[in-house]
Amino acid sequence: MSVQESDILKALSTVMDPDLNTDVVKAGMVKNLKVEGGKVSVTIELTTPACPMKEKIKGDAEVALKAVAGLTELKLELTAKTRAGPISKDALLPGVKNVVLVGAGKGGVGKSTLALNLACALAKHGAQVGLLDADFYGPSIPTMTGIKRKPVSRDGKNLDPLEAHGIKVMSIGFLIEADQALIWRGPMLQGALMQLVRDVNWGELDYLVLDLPPGTGDVPLTIAQQVRSSGAVLITTPQDVALADVVRAKQMFDKLHVPVLGIVENMNQFICPHCGKGTHIFDVGGGRRAAEMMDMAFLGDVPLDLKIRQGGDRGIPVVVGHPESEETKAFMAIAGRVAARISQENVLRSAPVVKLAT
């Protein structure tokens, strides 16, 4: 008894991608299907290498396929190809599939720490990633990556991004002296920022993470309006004053029609370096409550831990310096959820519009 391609597709149509809320056949994830008698080889191409449900999808697919009558040999492979968001045809960033904005309603909540570790975590998942430090008033990414070189231009027109920890990096901090203050008004900032977006050889990237300055001022507005992003990640700490500010940031992105991918609660608890116990210094659960209140996804929480601070000061992000730590596991999980939310948004945007008969 030989197996037909239709049998395999019927079996795989029962395998759901929980993040996309559709089966792998409808999602166009079934590739390279070959059937020879009872021998079957097939590839399931995930929408991102950071897919948090990859093991479940693979397991479900194996169970479904092994139940097909007549199947004697199965070769199932999982690959990943990040799908492009709305910026794929944007002249500003032609090789970048998805731009991810990282923002906060106020300073001091760990936005740059999240942006850097998110970028490194996505790279560890297997994605091609860049990080643009758009916080002109406080460019901390040079220190946090440990990069002390200045970028150069091979073609005399565009700058080549610097590289560290598996990601491409650019910051205004690479172009000015460390003790130099940028006393620029809004138009100058906006012009310089768009140059860093437009005149950098980013190459082919799955994700470009933009570390925005805090608040809802000129620079975040310029980025949100001129760069077609796949969505924004908001970060807050648990106390009420920080949560009130993140509400304003959410309102800004809503007005600019930028999808908010979700919220991260930083400094969820302080981990004592001596006894390892946690203490909720800034209250607890505020980020989750804010997500529920504003109908956003809660992407996860990160503790206030000495390793994170030390990594930032030494130029080695915790995701790289302590790969087995609980903090790294938190960032890796957040990266997976961010990638999943981006895939959801991309699927929604690409869905055909059904016109009702009048």
pLDDT for 242 equals 66
Residues contacting residue 207 through CB under 8 Å, at least 6 positions apart: 82, 96, 97, 98, 99, 100, 119, 122, 127, 128, 129, 130, 339, 342
State the Cα angle at 179 between 174 and 181, rounded to 5°: 85
How many C-beta atoms lie closer than 10 Å to residue 165's C-beta? Answer: 23
Q: Which of 136-150, 172-186, 324-338 has the lowest mean pLDDT?
A: 172-186
CA 53/CA 140 separation, integer angstroms: 33
At residue 156 the predicted structure's pLDDT band, cuts being 50, 70 and 90, is confident
Please name which of 325, 219, 268, 315 lies closest in space to residue 109, comparing C-alpha atoms: 268
Does the structure show a pLDDT above 70 at 168? Answer: yes
At residue 157 the predicted structure's pLDDT band, cuts being 50, 70 and 90, is confident
pLDDT for 357 equals 43
CA 198/CA 91 separation, integer angstroms: 8
How many C-beta atoms lie closer than 10 Å to residue 112's C-beta? Answer: 26
| Tokens at 12, concatenated | 């795989």
CA atoms 132, 303, 291, 349: torsion sign: positive
Does the structure show a pLDDT above 50 at 31? Answer: yes
Strand locations in 13-56 (E): 16-17, 22-23, 30-36, 39-46
pLDDT for 72 equals 94
Please name which of 320, 296, 297 lies closest in space to residue 308, comparing C-alpha atoms: 320
Does the structure show a pLDDT above 90 at 274? Answer: no
CA 144/CA 142 separation, integer angstroms: 6
At residue 277 the predicted structure's pLDDT band, cuts being 50, 70 and 90, is confident
Residue-wise pLDDT for 135-146, tens only, equals: 877 789 999 999
How many C-beta atoms lie closer than 10 Å to residue 323's C-beta? Answer: 11
CA 53/CA 58 separation, integer angstroms: 9
Please name which of 84, 66, 151, 137 lies closest in space to residue 350, comparing C-alpha atoms: 84
Please give the domain boundaries of the chain with CATH numbers for all domains: 6-80 (3.30.300.130), 96-350 (3.40.50.300)
Pairing of strands 162-164, 167-171: antiparallel
| Tokens at 78, concatenated | 């999982």
pLDDT for 290 equals 83
CA 56/CA 54 separation, integer angstroms: 6
DSSP letter at 159 equals B
AA identity, residue 222: T
Backbone angles phi, psi at 97, to 5 degrees: -80, -40
pTM above 0.95, yes or no: no
Q: What is the mean pLDDT of the chain?
A: 87
At residue 355 the predicted structure's pLDDT band, cuts being 50, 70 and 90, is very low
Q: Containing H/E element for 6?
A: helix 5-12
Does the structure show a pLDDT above 60 at 192? Answer: yes
pLDDT for 91 equals 62
pLDDT for 77 equals 96
At residue 202 the predicted structure's pLDDT band, cuts being 50, 70 and 90, is very high
CA 30/CA 7 separation, integer angstroms: 13
AA identity, residue 58: K
Residue-wise pLDDT for 63-74, tens only, equals: 999 999 999 999
